[in-house]
Structure 1
Amino acid sequence: MQWLDLGMKLPITDPTWIFFLVLVIILFAPILLNRLRIPHIVGMILAGVMIGEYGFNILERDSSFELFGKVGLYYIMFLAGLEMNMEDFKSIRTKAIVLGLLAFVIPMTLGFFSNVFILQFGFITSVLLASMYASHTLISYPIVIRYGISRQRSVSIAVGGTAVTDTLTLLVLAVISGMFKEEYSDLFWVWLVAKVVGLSALIIFFFPRIGRWFFRKYDDHVVQFIFVLAMVFLGAGLMELIGMEGILGAFLAGLVLNRLIPHVSPLMHHLEFVGNALFIPYFLIGVGMLIDVRILLVHGGALKVALVMTVMAMISKWIACWATQKIYRMNSLERELMFGLSNAQAAATLAAVLVGYNIILPDGQRLLNDDVLNGTVVLILFTCIISSFVTERAARRVAVKVDCEEMNAEQLEEEKFLIPVSNPETIENLMGMALVMKNPKRKGGFIALNVINDNATSQSDTMNGKRQLERAAMIATSAGVTLNMVTRFDLNIASGIVHTLKEVNASEVVIGLHRKATLVDSFLGNMTESLLKGTHKQVMIVKCLMPVNTLRRIVVAVPPKAEFEVGFFKWLERIARMGSQLGCKIHFFAHLDTQRYLEGYMNKNHAGVRSEFSELSTWDDLLLLTKQVNYDHLLVIVSARRGYISYDPSFDRLPHQITRYFSNNSLLVLFPDQYGDPQEMISYADLSQQQESPTYEQVGHWFYKWFKKK
């Protein structure tokens, strides 16, 4: 068939035009269907039906659709594991296992009896077909990502249940397919389970260690992106080598790399962007090209099989979600969201039907005949459409509910991070630290500041400052966050920061730790000291020896009476967010009275974050932390300005202790919000230099030692 007399025939086989048409579909399908309130995932599948062999035959389902389709399928499972909140998952893992078992047992039971008594199939055919009802694919998972509810409890339960259900389904598929192989034996399925468990243990042990080493050694985002994709396909390929489907390996890779890729990091943004823009739509279009709607009108047997398969699959999944809801007393909206995510059939269902279709029985018939093949395609179409509609409706309602709750719970103060940039070596770590501390729901609230001294107004200083601001903006943009760039001329850097703080009404400052230039130079530096005297807002001084996402633990030293400072819950919220994003355990060392406030806040607001509490009676015990802080830990020291409630004279020895005992550790020195305006006219003690203890303190220590000897 000639097309517009341009020498082009249908179906189009030229790679350039194939890719162009696919991109046009990816571009316009969401735009057109959003006006009709139809999920764009449904649009991708329907577009695949129209352009495929069974539609207008515009494109042929060539090897590119098979390649990108497989990548897209792995990507869906990988993102599902990567997006899962592992801290919350630990508290709901029992619910996820229950949902997974119910979503496997109920469809297997109902499906087996319907296949035997209604469709009149044999035993093995009925078991394999029933396992297809049990499996499901997270086709509608991109919808919950788009609405920002991927870390809701019901979503985590559905994702965890998917892993359980699909694993059991793939085991059934592997055993049945192995029965028709020459090497099949009575211990085949036992050996298969042993291989799956062994390989999973290897992935869980080695992948995080390899990933942490790689991220520490290479900080280029492109290199990190390629590395992550390589790990995904390595996990998928290893699973296929032992006879399982690669989707299980991709999901497992997402789980084990979860803690190395924070939800708000630039790398996470890149992974989601590429997957949702290209790989996943390609997979959905390829699924649509398999669907032949005409069989419903032409072949009565196929229509009957398709009707039974679709009804049994949907009813059994709804019963499983309803039972889980009743067992754990969840609300109807959570049940609806679980049903929407667990209803779609695609990946494992396609794998099972193709395997069964290619198995030839001794009598010359196929294990799964043409009616089952065509019925499976219709099953995929209807379940994907219904899954998308249900998930879209539930996700919208959940997102509105969550936003209203968070709006009521938010503090009146607007969250704004002011990040002075001057040293190109610290910009990456400063931005990374601020990103893991910010509210995940906020897309703004970042101000990068470059202060230029009035006495040094050379063109080179201005250009260098502009380059640093642009680099900070690139990091923020790659993480999906907006950042305002401010260049300021002032008498000195500290004054410029203080004035900008007031002008933009920033809530806190994140700066890098000063490097001592001379022996008489102070630990914090004159600029930081002036900044602390010039503002009562929270100041965080950062020294990172490795990328933020590779930290394994956060150790927090809290002084006595810190709970009486006005900024106590503010800095505690920032540390808790950091622990949640990085998946780190937070170990608090504090006085027993302060511990009660810390435990109460963490249990109420961040119950999913792993936390531990130990006593730190006096600040002199800070040296005990040397045994608790390793090279890949972050030491957070909560200090205070002189003259305030939680200030302790032993703070004067902090610079010496840090320099001597914690020089090889990543460090965060935190000065919280405190009441009152800065009083620059009062003579403050030097916070950065090691000072001699006051006379009364020396005399007290002398008498204590003397009586102790006696």
Structure 2
Amino acid sequence: MEPVLPVLALEPNFHLGQEPIVPLAILLLIILVIPILFERLRIPGLVGLVGSGVVLGPSGWNLVHTDYSIINLLSNIGLIYLMFLIGLEKDFRQLHQSQKQAWGFAGFTLIISLLMGLFIGKICGWGANTSLFIGCLFISSTLLAYPLLSSLGVINNQAISTSIKATILTDIGAVLILAIFLSSQPTEAFNLSYILTYLGRLIIYTTIIWMGFDWAGQEFFRRSGDDEGNKFLFVLISVFIALISCQLLGITKIVGAFLAGLVVNTVVGDSPTKEKITFVGSVLFIPVFFVNLGVLINLPAGSSGITVLELTLLVFVCVIVSKFLAALLAKLCYRYNWQEMFTMWSISLPQVSTTLAGTFLGYRAGWLSIEVFQSIVALVLMTSALGVVLTDRLAVALTSTPQSEALTVNLSEAKIAEKPSIFTIVVPIYNPHTQQYLMEMAALLARFEKSKIIPLNIAPAAVRMDGGQLEASVQKSERLLAKATDQSLGGKIETVPLLRIDNAYGAGISRAAREQKASLIVMGWGKRNGLRSRLFGNVNDSVLWASRCAVAVTCLVESPQKIQRILVPLENLTSPVLPAVKFAQMLAEANQAQVTVLNVCDRRISSSKIAARRSQLTVLVSQLALPNPPEIQMIAHDNIAQAILQAARLYDLVVLPFIRNYHIPGGLVMSDLTTQIAKHLTCSIVILKASENTQVTNISKTIANTSYMI
């Protein structure tokens, strides 16, 4: 008798359309595809996410409902994460310069926005509380146009700097005022006693959170070593403890998340931990929140009359006018020119992060009707698109000239030209297939600087590794180091091999470089294999974050001794210009090669300003006092990345400055130019991170995204 095979059958009550996992899978697919498509159309990805929610919700295909528990959970976490990342982006050190102008512009924006809310309420017949609540939603702004401003090289302009710094103050003001409203019911009357009581609880809560979390974070990070996973979990636990604490004190949870972000920022600073925190929220939780906002919109119900359309138009016009009046007052008070004033206005237009969070909570708490909710969401979509388009057209005229910014750039990078007394190159050796080219490149650089090379190998030593395993690891490391010593151009360069026993490659390299007082680390390209390396980084990421000296991450397709033409493309003159040029010239002098410094300008920039930028770049490069100055080329092109890739076809090596990515506060990642270029180059590549004491610090907070670079 033949055996009876088991038959797999679906559950009798199984219906594909009723399974909550199906809309979740669709939701994840939307999050993956839609932002990419919209960004290629130069439309912010959040517009596509909210629009997708409308299509998937009751107004469209009716695939996703607001009563799905798993989607509601992810959306609520996304709201908390959104406010947390808004706080995490804020750096009060930016206010040390131009503090008066930033406070002034923020104050003008706050007052005019509240007055505009009262004006809208007067027209619509709302009460004072509801009108002021809507005015609070207009206060903040999101720097969607920052990547554009950075590519144009205008972030050092006084007016642009003031606008960027003012967003810190407007976000804080908007969150605090919204918290007072959300702590009460729409029908309750406010009085001075209630406001003072709430502010008192807020001050107590802030003091406890700030002092407690700062101390706990410093202690934990000091004791936890280099385990990024533990640090990441500690930060998440801190956020939820802050939320529980604020609930016990009767404080709105968005304030708890926002303050937790401010505190965590002081603890983690610019570190891989901060990058991973932002990564998790930006790719999952926050996009779910955006989609869920769209699901809440019910177009048939809201479009039965012309109320929503009229209200949307009224709100849109009032926001445009309020931001314009704030920029106009700033112009009159601080003597900006008209072009700067219009650019400040366009930068402050996009209402995204804080506005969406406040709108969502206000709708759930009963402060906003469905018509107002839909109007504010439409406002966010319109201003996010309009603000970027206007900034793209207006900021071009603010491109720097030698008279306006050359002196600032020269002073900020003057230390780069100072040659250290002893130039030491550390070459981590952990891949036998790439170590020959690495040693050849290090030898060429050492020949120019008359310095020494330290081939470094990390012998891994786990806690439970027995003596035999450790001995075998050490012997393998010694063989690699002996081979590397022979590869340093026939022993013509002083080579001092170094073997280090450590439980972490990246941390071991950084510690050894610090102990040897290294001037430069030359590393191979690190590939990402596995989920853990994508979430918590690889060796290159760790070294780029932790090392204080310069780091050159290389991908060499041929021997460095064959390199004859070197290209150094520069996106703008606020990037770390001189270190990349200096590195390329050191290699060129040893190889009798030619270096070309390429700057791609926007095609809309006038010929006179292009000539001014060439002059500025020439003066900047002349600080290096090189015996054979590099050739300088200027190209006007609509697509910077495409222009650089076309030019790179004629070169053997491209040296790219390490430029950190910018994340929209609480939003999606805006990829940098280096990432785009590195993905498509076919020649040898070097990504150079300058030493910490020579890097130019951008006035706007940026977050490194080495996960997509290496």
Q: Is 1:137–1:342's contact at 8 Å kept on the other side of the alignment? A: no
Q: Give the match for residue 249 of structure 1.
A: 256
Cα drift, residue 49 of structure 1: 1.0
Q: Aligned residue pairs: how many?
A: 455
Q: Give the match for residue 284 of structure 1.
A: 290
Distance 1:395 1:494, change over 3 A: farther
Which whole-Å CA distance do the structure 1 matches of 2:269 and 2:489 have between them? 32
Which whole-Å CA distance do the structure 2 matches of 1:54 and 1:390 have between them? 28
- Asked whether 1:394 is paired with 2:391, we answer yes
Q: Give the match for residue 162 of structure 1.
A: 171
Cα drift, residue 157 of structure 1: 1.6
Which whole-Å CA distance do the structure 2 matches of 1:250 and 1:109 have between them? 28
Counterparts of 1:209-608 in structure 2, within 5 Å, are 209-218=215-224, 219-263=226-270, 265-295=271-301, 297-329=303-335, 331=340, 332-340=342-350, 345-356=355-366, 372-391=369-388, 394=391, 418-421=425-428, 449-450=455-456, 460-461=473-474, 463-464=476-477, 488-490=484-486, 498=494, 512=511, 538=519
Q: Is 1:353–1:373's contact at 8 Å kept on the other side of the alignment? A: yes
Q: Give the match for residue 104 of structure 1.
A: 110
Unaligned runs of 5+ in 2: 1-11, 431-452, 460-470, 498-507, 522-541, 547-577, 580-690, 695-710
Which whole-Å CA distance do the structure 2 matches of 1:494 and 1:259 have between them? 49
Q: Deviations over 1:322-371 (max 9, x none)?
A: 434543445233332223257973111232233235xxxxxxxxxx6xxx
Cα drift, residue 225 of structure 1: 0.7
Q: Deviations over 1:390-429 (max 9, x none)?
A: 1476389879969998998676899999445599xxxxxx
Cα drift, residue 252 of structure 1: 1.7
Distance 1:108 1:173, change over 3 A: farther
Provide the TM-score with structure 2 as the length reference.
0.53
Q: Is 1:134–1:313's contact at 8 Å kept on the other side of the alignment? A: no
Which whole-Å CA distance do the structure 2 matches of 1:176 and 1:202 have between them? 27
Q: Give the match for residue 131 of structure 1.
A: 133
SS state at 1:155 partner: helix
Which whole-Å CA distance do the structure 2 matches of 1:342 and 1:323 have between them? 24
SS state at 1:488 partner: helix
Q: Give the match for residue 33 of structure 2.
A: 28
Which whole-Å CA distance do the structure 1 matches of 2:30 and 2:106 have between them? 35
SS state at 1:450 partner: strand
Unaligned runs of 5+ in 1: 1-5, 358-367, 424-446, 469-485, 502-508, 516-523, 541-546, 552-568, 571-669, 674-710
Q: Which has the larger radius of gyration?
A: 1
Distance 1:157 1:460, change over 3 A: same
Which whole-Å CA distance do the structure 2 matches of 1:500 and 1:462 have between them? 17
User: In structure 1, what residue type is equivalent to 2:38?
Assistant: L
Provide the TM-score with structure 1 as the length reference.
0.53
Q: 1:54 aligns with which of 43, 52, 59?
A: 59
Q: Give the match for residue 207 of structure 2.
A: 201
Which whole-Å CA distance do the structure 2 matches of 1:37 and 1:163 have between them? 29
Distance 1:420 1:167, change over 3 A: same
Q: Is 2:312–2:378's contact at 8 Å kept on the other side of the alignment? A: no
Cα drift, residue 231 of structure 1: 1.6
Distance 1:49 1:498, change over 3 A: farther
Q: 2:188 aligns with which of 156, 179, 188?
A: 179
SS state at 1:58 partner: coil
Cα drift, residue 214 of structure 1: 0.7
Which whole-Å CA distance do the structure 2 matches of 1:313 and 1:35 have between them? 28
Cα drift, residue 100 of structure 1: 4.1
Distance 1:291 1:141, change over 3 A: farther
SS state at 1:258 partner: helix
Which whole-Å CA distance do the structure 2 matches of 1:452 and 1:256 have between them? 35
Cα drift, residue 272 of structure 1: 2.1
Percent identity, please.
22
Which whole-Å CA distance do the structure 2 matches of 1:450 and 1:312 have between them? 62
Q: Is 1:112–1:130's contact at 8 Å kept on the other side of the alignment? A: yes
Which whole-Å CA distance do the structure 2 matches of 1:63 and 1:192 have between them? 32
Q: Is 1:314–1:343's contact at 8 Å kept on the other side of the alignment? A: no
Cα drift, residue 270 of structure 1: 1.0
The more displaced of 372-381 and 319-328 is 319-328
Q: Deviations over 1:15-73 (max 9, x none)?
A: 43233212211111122223322111111111111111222211122233332223223
Which whole-Å CA distance do the structure 1 matches of 2:46 and 2:513 have between them? 51
Q: Give the match for residue 619 of structure 1.
A: none
Distance 1:164 1:96, change over 3 A: farther
Cα drift, residue 280 of structure 1: 1.6
Cα drift, residue 488 of structure 1: 1.8
